[in-house]
Structure 1
Amino acid sequence: MGVRFTVLGPVEVTADGTRLDGLAPRHRAVLAYLLLHARIVLGRDRLIDAVWGPAPPETARSQIHAAVTAIRRVLRRAGAAEVLQTRDAGYVIVPQAGQLDLDEFTGALSAAEDPQRIRAALALWRGEALADVSADYVADARTRLTERRLAAFERLAELELALGRHEHLIDELSAQAAAHPLREKLACHLMRALHLAGRQPDALAVARAFRARLADDQGLDPGHAFTTLEQAILAGDTAPEPAGQGSFLPYDLPDFAGRGNELGHLTHQAGQAAIYTIDGMAGVGKTAFAVHTAHRLAARYPDGRLFVDLRAHTAGQPPLDPAAALDILLRQAGVPADRIPADLAGRCALWRSELAGRRVLVVLDNAAGAEHVRHLLPGAPGSLTLITSRRRLTDLDGARALSMDVFPAADAIALFNGIVGERAERRPLAVLDVLQLCGFLPLAVRIAAARLHHRPQWTVDYLAERLRAERRRLAELSTAERGVAAAFTLSYRQLAADRRRTFRLLGVHPGRDVDPYAAAALAGTDPYEAEEILEDLLDAHMLIQHEPGRYTFHDLLRDHARSLAEPEEASGALTRLAGHHLRTAVVAIGRLFPYSRHLLPAAPPADGPAPEDPVSALAWLDAERANLIACGVQAAADRPRHTTDLAAALYAYLDGHIHHAEALPLYDAAVRAARDPSAQAQALLNQGVMHARLGDHDRAHLHTPRALDLARLAGDRHAEARALCSLGDVAWEAGDIDRAHADYDRSLSLYREVGERRGEAIVLGNLGLVHSRRNRHDLAHQVLDQALALFHDHGIRAGEATVLGNLGLIHERQGDRVRAADHFIRALALFQDLGYRPGETAMLAHLGRLGPRR
């Protein structure tokens, strides 16, 4: 029998049927909480909060540690030490199939339209859940589990009443109704069973007793379903629902929110299609939507509303095979068990024969793929089949597809506020913060709202702070019965091994998205194989796509993927990605700025297709810019050379195309990462330029003298030229024209010596301003025209715009307002094209100062 854990009764660990001692009450409380959240990593703070609530003792952390130690000791005796694992973020218990009674209960209920399976699930209970455990979390957890037990029994009664098995139900229903006297559905089932057994007076006596008790205890009247049944019994017209005409749909959520567009579309189109597939990522609410839609459409299908869970993503359970699914569906359709063939082909034929000429609505929930449901589809028109799956079912010919996305903000707010109530309505901005941290994923929103609802001491802001901690966000989004991480894990386990590995490695990418080449670098494969895997992950809703050829994660799925990667595996992937980025960036910068090739860091040839012309080079840099910066920043600690090389390679692009604010984190990281004097000098100077472009001139020149010393120490003439130019800027801003002129002249000589034409153009532009300040306007025009030509020849449009603006200022000082305006207009057009608002604003101010042209 092996090791087994139980929570549906006393909390116990058994080995080969023998109860293992050694766990004190507090130890069992910790064990039970871990088991209720099986396969979810729980931090110590979460465990402390669960066990003691808002006022834990000072010894709480040591008590948790002692409990975990005791649990490990017991598991070692059972030969199952690996079940309890320690992770960076806390502890996780990972029971195998058949080891946890709660898993078995949940799995059995996944086929909740089969009375035998429901009875088997209920037989797992050995009394009150968590019977011998005392802790802060226990009351809520016990209530939830008891509610599931009662709901399962009510569904069992409903199914057996529909099958005419009312006689043997009466005693069970009487006992449950006595134990839960205010539960209306139990009272209704007992009334129906008694009346079907010919005991009308007894049925009415149950009705009278329930009415009186409800009025005395709660001051309420029974609901519509109760009064309708009561009137029918009084009239003597209640009979078993005709076989095959009942509803086997699960419970429709009373607080179902949103999805108005999808619901409207499907209900409008339902008569025009026989099959609808509803796909989407784990937790997006496919089943809830399908069930809600089915209830809305029920009246259109009077010959039966059938439901089966195919269990493609059910913890601890294999997918339900088509033959078993057909057995459930045929029984729901009213076929006696002795008429159902044993073989799949026979069941398929009978299923299609039974549905011919009938209008039936069938919900096939949780399908693994097209082959999983192909044998279950009705053969004739008139019926509607709704299929939910985490994969896109592209191979079902004739089916219409509805892919569900995360909630729009309004739907998420409606669901969250509907559960939480006034506390949420008073803090709309905090609610939006929580919803964004939940990624607007319906399951995450529902769990977050439920946690807040059951913790009156918490505020919405406090919940947001808890969710903001990335390492424990997924753990926060879980309850005793469900969790976002658990839902993701089930999807992950359905992937092939190479898909799982790629999914994990995509999670360690620090950027926002990937193309097939970056994915190939991460996984160490070729781009064609990588693209095939990416497309498969897209079909499985493990990735999303906002533009062709680029793939990204939902934020919570990214957290989950990152948590799965082993450190060594992640390090290797990031090293390969860094090499790919640097190699391709060097090629792209060389194509876009050929004059600066000699300044680029050494890198091997690009791995795969590289930009072949300036247009494709710019397109690649624009598409990858955020990723390049994020990866460069992340590499500063572990791969410092990559950070400094990438920052140096990208400098001309980031500066010349006005991406200074985005680039600043990369250059801050490069300063931290630089090791040798030359790299330190270049990093300090690049950082200074970014600050200067953003208007922070004090910080821009703070480290220029040190950069000059480092450049000379390293013998780096290019860095020395840049440092001298920066010192000239300092002198210029201080009004020391002579010093500025001298520094610029020395810088110009060095730039010409190393053949750096962009730097030469920049210094010529600065010297033009110096000559103009000294009223040497002819000389100023001469050097500015040289600078303009250099910038133009090398495609540096930001430089062109700056020089044109300076030429306009000189013409204005000389009194030539017409030529000044022409230069300002040309500069304005360039700044507008570049999207550089400061330059655009300056040119508009100059033009406004000149007044209208004549």
Structure 2
Amino acid sequence: MEVVMGLAPSVRFTVLGPVEILGPDGSVPTAPRHRAVLAYLLLNAGRVCSAERLIDAVWGMDAPETARSQIHAGIAAIRRALRAAGAPGVVVTRPAGYVALPETGQLDLQVFTDEVAAADGDPRVVIDRLRAALTLWHGDPLADIHADFVPAERARLIERRSVAFDKLMDAELAAGRHEDILDELIAQVGAFPFREKNSAQLVLALHRSGRQTDALVQARRFRTRLAEEQGLDPGRAFTELEQAVLRDDPALRPPTPGPAATPSAATTTVPANAETTSSATAPAAGTSPATGIASTNGTVSANDAPPNFLPYDLPDFSGREAEVALLTAPPERSRPGTVITAIDGMAGAGKTALAVRISHLLAECHPDGQLFVDLQAHTAGAEPVTAEAALATLLHQLGLPYDRIPETSDARGARWRAEMARRKVVVVLDNVRDSEQVRPLLPGSSPSTVILTSRRRLVDLDGARALSVDMLPARDAVELFGRIVGPRAAAEPAAVLDVLRLCGFLPLAVRIAAARLSHRPRWTVGYLADRLRDHRRRLAELTTADRGVAAAFALSYDQLPAEPQRMFRLLGLQPGHDIGPAAAGALAGCPLDDAETALEELLDAHVITQRQPGRYTLHDLLREQARATAAVTEPPEAIDAALHRLLDHYLHTARDAVDLLFPYTSGHRNPLPTSDIEREPLAGPAAAAAWLDAERDNLVAAGCWAERHDSPAHAVGMAATLRPYVDGNGHHGEAQRLHTAALTAAARLGDATARSRALTDLGWTAWRRGDYDTADEWSRQALTATRDAANDYDHARALNTLGNVAWRRRDPRAAREYFEAALDLARADGNRVGEAHVLGNLGPALDHTGDTDLARAHLNRALALHRELGNHRGEALVHTYLGTIDSRHGDHIAARGHHRRAAELYRALGSPTDEAAARNGLGVALCDSGDPAAALAEHRTALELGDQHSHRPEQARAHDRLARALHRLDRRAEAREHAEHALTLYLELDVPEAEDVRTFLTGLSDPVIP
């Protein structure tokens, strides 16, 4: 990176390419996650970023439980790197978080910004400044960073580079250097084939270079690609440039080359004397040639301006860039006649604001007027406007006196189509009820644009292009809120996001919340967020004197048929986030086909949404509306019956799915009460796994809800049913929630067996999460409870967990004792699945206590049992144990084979945390056999899997083994960084490996042993 002005600083930072710290001795090594944190701080240089904001930036909605500790560790690592580079004061702590304070010239993005801003005045200065700015780029910005904030920031930065490049090319064209920039423009068009500005510049540069044929070929190539891949036509400026090239318009001739040339009309892509498309349109009979509006013999004066009945364009309109770009693009030439666009979306989504914004933008290319009629399909206290009345309004807006408007609907429609035949007008028909209401209002062959807005999808309006508007993206919602509220919003960015989330990013709700705040100067944004957190009063908070979210929703609800209304009310009660047709049928107590019909009706009315086929969900605010409506409409006993039907559906279908996936454990699951609820048919294990993955959040929510709402048997049953699935797929957070709910529910039921099982499951889940103290505590309670309940099956499981805890604490003799006691119980109980698992766990303990032959015999017996039972998960675990023993005894080739087989099985099973253990084992075997470079890849895969699922034991082990492999490769700085991470995690886990890592860190200065 070059610094154009002044002396180059000794330490520099790059984000316009790979993120790097460049010190006097070159690039300073940092971990990818740490670079992500550093990049976000640098992009927000000078602004304090809280830990919460950094967590949101790096992980978004998928932040792990250890996110805060990872951020703190990342800041510490960044500071170490900065100290090593000689820039210790760049990242500092403030009471509210962290802030990056790079000096002038240190950050390439700031240098780029300054250079582009200074590119003004003298063309030589403009060109030199812009070229200096663009040399700072080295590939895509944030090139090596993978974090939640990166895609949006990368797109924003690339756009800034493109704008600077556009400005440079305009300056070069103005200076007469068209031949010199051809290669640059060809490369830019190749990288951004749909960027019209660059294609236009290339066409102009080719034409000025005497290559008229090539210029026209390039123009045709851009036009064809845009039509085929985007369904769009070029803008008017490009079309006029193409026509000017075709006729060799003198206005396109280059200026005199030389450094003193200044930008002129010849630099633009639109020739000054190009004809406009509207000038080629003949006026209708009886109209003024000047305006195209009906002349004074029937309507208005030829000197009057074209009619414009549009509402005002909101000055704080925010977002919707893609929608605006789509709807303001010129229509396809293959589709002559009226362009009809139907904008649909839920109440409060901003449909009218979008339609009005687009209509104002289209006004220039629709010179004969802009018309607007509110058809009042969703207006409180008003009947929808009839087609006959709407036609009268439209004809009057065109200039016809009311006494000359025909009486009948048919005659009005005929006069409307005749008046519009040659006019080019924008017509907005707002608040449409259905297709039938607007069909008579559509012009015939007019070259006009008609924009409809409706809360319903107008699926049977032939020839209309449909656009469904969703909630505002977070960035656009922040912008809208800030424009209304002013500086107070910028002072509390975290609270602003809270408010927006509580508003569900619904534009109407955001506007009302912002308006309330702007009129209450003593309120803070945080205070408003606290008021909105109370879901019982949230809808009341989002209400003003003349509008409200609840009132808007109520109108949509009132216009639904009876069965969809009932389905809507009940959907607000279900504890999960989304729902499928079968579950909805159980909730409503109706057949599957009827449930799907009601859901599709709600979907067409934008009362529910669909993120993926077959899954329906309610917006959070609509959920509150549905609950409130159900509370005053449905009898309490009907609500209870609906929810119990849903719980039965989830529980019984989950049992079917788990039995298909884990048939070898079905004998130890308690039978469920019989139920006549219709269940989803599951064709086999693949369908069962897909159903469980799709419904996992709903099943966990249902189990926890059941415990809190007087249905403890469902809570106990759901936890016991889902245990093998959530454990085997690494969903340990969900497992903890389920088993905690089951423990409370068992106490309410007075069921000693269920209580002992829940304690056992909590102990095992804590061990899987790496919380060994808690695992020990729960398991000891489970030993007492299972003994009292004569529950030998779970007693053996609790002993097995205690053996695993002892093993992780490096007490193989205690582990052996626990495992042997568990083995005796499993065999006595005839529990072959438990026997196989305990035999596998016992193998390494026997090996470490000197009984290697017995260890191998037990492991081979476990492997045979797992294969006989069809338990591939257990088979993979035994391969991991065998590989560990082989590595310990120096047979690294055999060890690699076992670990690879384990990793393959775990990957096929979709068990990421167990795959991480197998990858770490394979890395150890590779490093010990003299291939530390190959070991790095395995440990990095293990670390990625551990990070994705917040599995601290394998995260710690991956960092530990990465440090040792890197040390073998003499990459000591990286080794130290990973070792410090491992030490932090091992200390949190409270395991003896922490001392091993301390010893390793102490010896990092020792010579490397090849």
Q: TM-score, normalised by structure 1?
A: 0.68
Q: Quote the residue 2:690 is aligned against.
A: 619
The answer to whether the Cα contact below 8 Å between 2:649 and 2:679 also exists between their aligned partners in 1 is no
Q: CA deviation at 1:680?
A: 0.5
1:503 matched to 2:575? The reply is: no
Q: Distance in 2 between matches of 1:319 and 1:752?
A: 76
1:576 matched to 2:576? The reply is: no
Note closer, same or farther for the CA distance 1:795–1:390 as it changes in structure 2 (3 Å cut): farther
The answer to whether the Cα contact below 8 Å between 2:569 and 2:629 also exists between their aligned partners in 1 is yes
Q: Quote the residue 2:606 is aligned against.
A: 541
Q: CA deviation at 1:754?
A: 4.0
How many aligned residue pairs are there?
616
Q: Percent identity?
A: 50
Q: Quote the residue 1:375 is aligned against.
A: 440
Q: CA deviation at 1:851?
A: 4.6
Q: Quote the residue 2:707 is aligned against.
A: 636
Q: Quote the residue 2:484 is aligned against.
A: 419
Note closer, same or farther for the CA distance 1:274–1:572 as it changes in structure 2 (3 Å cut): same
**Among candidates 658, 672, 675, match of residue 744 of structure 2:** 672
Q: CA deviation at 1:445?
A: 1.5
1:591 matched to 2:660? The reply is: yes
Q: Quote the residue 2:308 is aligned against.
A: 247
Q: Quote the residue 1:468 is aligned against.
A: 533
Matched letter for residue 568 of structure 2: F
1:805 matched to 2:877? The reply is: no
Mean Cα deviation higher: 425-434 or 654-663: 425-434
Q: CA deviation at 1:466?
A: 2.2
**Among candidates 813, 816, 827, match of residue 752 of structure 1:** 827
Listed one character per residue, the Cα deviations across residues 432-459 of structure 1 (whole Å, up to 9, x for unaligned) are 2322222221111211221221121122
SS class of match (1:551): strand
Q: CA deviation at 1:671?
A: 0.8
Q: Quote the residue 1:62 is aligned against.
A: none
Q: Distance in 1 between matches of 2:479 and 2:460?
A: 36
Q: Distance in 1 between matches of 2:428 and 2:728?
A: 58
Q: Quote the residue 2:930 is aligned against.
A: 852
Q: Quote the residue 1:553 is aligned against.
A: 618
**Among candidates 895, 905, 921, match of residue 843 of structure 1:** 921
SS class of match (1:366): strand
Q: Distance in 1 between matches of 2:901 and 2:328?
A: 58
SS class of match (2:536): helix
Matched letter for residue 653 of structure 2: T
Q: Distance in 2 between matches of 1:401 and 1:350?
A: 27
1:765 matched to 2:840? The reply is: yes
Note closer, same or farther for the CA distance 1:666–1:323 as it changes in structure 2 (3 Å cut): same
Listed one character per residue, the Cα deviations across residues 712-758 of structure 1 (whole Å, up to 9, x for unaligned) are 33333322322333344456567765664454334324323444333
Listed one character per residue, the Cα deviations across residues 268-306 of structure 1 (whole Å, up to 9, x for unaligned) are 145755211111111111111111111121233333322
Mean Cα deviation higher: 492-501 or 786-795: 786-795
Q: Distance in 2 between matches of 1:311 and 1:496?
A: 19
Listed one character per residue, the Cα deviations across residues 196-255 of structure 1 (whole Å, up to 9, x for unaligned) are xxxxxxxxxxxxxxxxxxxxxxxxxxxxxxxxxxxxxxxxxxx97878941111222122
Q: Distance in 2 between matches of 1:269 and 1:843?
A: 60
Q: Quote the residue 2:895 is aligned against.
A: 820
Listed one character per residue, the Cα deviations across residues 593-621 of structure 1 (whole Å, up to 9, x for unaligned) are 11222222323367244213111111111
The answer to whether the Cα contact below 8 Å between 2:767 and 2:801 also exists between their aligned partners in 1 is no
Q: CA deviation at 1:631?
A: 0.7
Note closer, same or farther for the CA distance 1:773–1:642 as it changes in structure 2 (3 Å cut): same
**Among candidates 359, 370, 374, match of residue 294 of structure 1:** 359
Q: Distance in 2 between matches of 1:300 and 1:735?
A: 78
Matched letter for residue 728 of structure 2: G
**Among candidates 640, 645, 649, match of residue 717 of structure 2:** 645
Q: Quote the residue 2:730 is aligned against.
A: 658
Listed one character per residue, the Cα deviations across residues 543-581 of structure 1 (whole Å, up to 9, x for unaligned) are 111211111122222222222222444322211110001
Q: Quote the residue 2:100 is aligned against.
A: none
Q: Distance in 2 between matches of 1:647 and 1:371?
A: 52
Listed one character per residue, the Cα deviations across residues 345-364 of structure 1 (whole Å, up to 9, x for unaligned) are 23322322332232222111
Q: Distance in 1 between matches of 2:570 and 2:884?
A: 54
Q: CA deviation at 1:538?
A: 1.3
Q: Distance in 2 between matches of 1:530 and 1:717?
A: 45
Q: CA deviation at 1:840?
A: 5.3
Q: Distance in 1 between matches of 2:626 and 2:304?
A: 47
Q: Quote the residue 2:765 is aligned against.
A: 690
Matched letter for residue 696 of structure 2: R
The answer to whether the Cα contact below 8 Å between 1:281 and 1:542 also exists between their aligned partners in 2 is yes
SS class of match (2:342): strand
SS class of match (2:460): coil
The answer to whether the Cα contact below 8 Å between 2:880 and 2:918 also exists between their aligned partners in 1 is no
SS class of match (1:570): helix
Note closer, same or farther for the CA distance 1:241–1:278 as it changes in structure 2 (3 Å cut): farther
Q: Quote the residue 1:442 is aligned against.
A: 507
Q: Distance in 1 between matches of 2:536 and 2:905?
A: 45
The answer to whether the Cα contact below 8 Å between 2:764 and 2:798 also exists between their aligned partners in 1 is no
SS class of match (1:636): helix
SS class of match (2:707): coil
Q: TM-score, normalised by structure 2?
A: 0.58
The answer to whether the Cα contact below 8 Å between 2:661 and 2:685 also exists between their aligned partners in 1 is yes
Q: Quote the residue 1:140 is aligned against.
A: none
Matched letter for residue 469 of structure 2: M
Q: CA deviation at 1:385?
A: 1.1
Note closer, same or farther for the CA distance 1:611–1:753 as it changes in structure 2 (3 Å cut): farther
Q: Distance in 2 between matches of 1:241 and 1:291?
A: 26
Q: Distance in 2 between matches of 1:761 and 1:258?
A: 59
Q: Quote the residue 1:283 is aligned against.
A: 348
Matched letter for residue 454 of structure 2: S
Mean Cα deviation higher: 453-462 or 625-634: 453-462
Mean Cα deviation higher: 441-450 or 553-562: 553-562
Q: Distance in 2 between matches of 1:394 and 1:838?
A: 49
Aligned ranges for residues 708-719 of structure 1 at < 5 Å?
A: 708-719=783-794
List, as ranges, runs of 4+ consecutive aligned residues in structure 1 with deviation greater than 6 Å.
239-244
C-alpha RMSD of matched pairs (Å): 2.5
Aligned ranges for residues 712-751 of structure 1 at < 5 Å?
A: 712-729=787-804, 740-751=815-826
Aligned ranges for residues 251-330 of structure 1 at < 5 Å?
A: 251-270=312-331, 273-330=338-395
Aligned ranges for residues 510-525 of structure 1 at < 5 Å?
A: 510-525=575-590
SS class of match (1:277): strand
Note closer, same or farther for the CA distance 1:696–1:275 as it changes in structure 2 (3 Å cut): same
Structure 2: runs of 5+ lacking an equivalent: 1-299, 933-1010
Matched letter for residue 429 of structure 1: A
* Greater relative contact order (CA < 8 Å, ≥ 6 in sequence): 1
Q: Distance in 1 between matches of 2:572 and 2:743?
A: 27
Q: Quote the residue 1:481 is aligned against.
A: 546
Aligned ranges for residues 187-266 of structure 1 at < 5 Å?
A: 245-266=306-327
SS class of match (1:686): helix
Q: Distance in 2 between matches of 1:657 and 1:791?
A: 18
Q: Quote the residue 2:849 is aligned against.
A: 774
Mean Cα deviation higher: 495-504 or 804-813: 804-813
Listed one character per residue, the Cα deviations across residues 445-484 of structure 1 (whole Å, up to 9, x for unaligned) are 2112212211211222222222222222222222212112
The answer to whether the Cα contact below 8 Å between 2:368 and 2:423 also exists between their aligned partners in 1 is yes
Note closer, same or farther for the CA distance 1:284–1:730 as it changes in structure 2 (3 Å cut): closer
Q: Quote the residue 1:111 is aligned against.
A: none
Mean Cα deviation higher: 604-613 or 387-396: 604-613
Listed one character per residue, the Cα deviations across residues 328-351 of structure 1 (whole Å, up to 9, x for unaligned) are 222222233233344332332232
Q: CA deviation at 1:642?
A: 0.3
The answer to whether the Cα contact below 8 Å between 2:892 and 2:926 also exists between their aligned partners in 1 is no
